[in-house]
Amino acid sequence: MNTPPLGELLETARIVALPMATRFRGITTREALLFEGPEGWSEFSPFVEYEDAEASAWLAAAIDFAWNQQPAPVRAAVPVNATVPAVAADEVPGVLARFDGCRTAKVKVAETGQTLADDIARVHAVRTAMGPEGRVRIDANGGWNVDEAERAVHALADADLEYIEQPCASVDELAELRRRIVRWDIPIAADESVRKADDPLAVARAGAADIVIVKAQPLGGVRRALEIVTEAGLPAVVSSALDTSIGLAMGTALAAALPDLDHDCGLGTSSLFIRDVATPPLRPTGGVLPVGRIAPDDDALSRLAAAPARTAWWLARLERCYGMLAD
């Protein structure tokens, strides 16, 4: 990878704070650091609770996207899903209305402080809104143990789920759950067991998942994510980590380069923001996103600039993570 001097990153670095339309992952504002390289703008936005060792992979991805030409695309547009946070059932139609033309919805479940009854009500509200031809998938972010996940699958059997994303935290638990729910013929997708694992291929070797979720930033960039998909030998869904439009363009570059794309991708999440850094933002139209680089709008960068203390925090984080890459 062509790694520039730190000063070149700092020269164009801009830190933004994007207000969200609804709480997601426990946050109402999403912060990100953007910078520009020879190939265009890129994004470094590991969640604030992540340690530097994990965050450094995100920086490697951001540098690669800004300084190196990306793999050639095999498609010009990427179909995407709507994303429904852990909202009350009566809020579901309003959330889905933000995702133009999306015929697949991913629903967050297993939220801390909520119950299975809350999840059932939300999923059924999404199924009703999407109609019988819409596709509904759920994402538990590893929030259930095996017994809890099995109960949830049984309770949601009538929702005609496309797949269940990361129902349990560990690879062993995923493998056990997959054995238990074979009679319902509901695939299991692995997310955290890929992007947060020391060995992202362990879940495939263990036969613990039917689908891998890949995210460009956490996995170290588009090329590394493509390698993981190839080595896993499983269908892949490209998703975002609540990126700005700049980071989502990295995600579409990954999705566009995959030889096969059998499922709608989780790259429509700019629709969860009230404002984004690009004009227009990279949001789904007719259920798809165009493939191509995105540049931020200067006025948006100014309006969405993070507070001085937060800017200092992100710049210090950038320097620390850069040092880890150099080491």
Task: Confirm or deny that 299 is annotated as ligand binding.
Answer: no
Q: Out of 98, 106, 108, 195, which one is annotated catalytic?
A: 108
| Max CA pair span of the chain | 57
Quick count: other Cβ atoms within 10 Å of Cβ 68?
16
The CA-atom distances, in angstroms, between 310 and each of 14, 17, 265 are 11, 9, 31
Quick count: other Cβ atoms within 10 Å of Cβ 151?
12
- The yes-or-no answer on residue 106 being catalytic is no
Q: Out of 30, 137, 215, 263, which one is annotated catalytic?
A: 215
Task: Confirm or deny that 297 is annotated as ligand binding.
Answer: no
DSSP single-letter state for residue 158: G
- The SS3 assignment for 178 reads helix
**The pairing of beta strand 211-214 with beta strand 188-190:** parallel
SS3 content of the chain, % helix, strand, coil (to 5): 40, 20, 40
Task: Confirm or deny that 185 is annotated as ligand binding.
Answer: no
| H-helix segments, the chain | 6-12, 52-67, 92-96, 116-130, 146-155, 171-180, 192-195, 202-205, 222-232, 245-257, 298-303, 308-326
DSSP codes of every residue in 245-272: HHHHHHHHHHHHH-S---S-BB--GGGG
Q: Which residues are annotated as a binding site for Mg(2+)?
A: 139, 165, 191
Residue positions annotated with a catalytic role: 108, 215
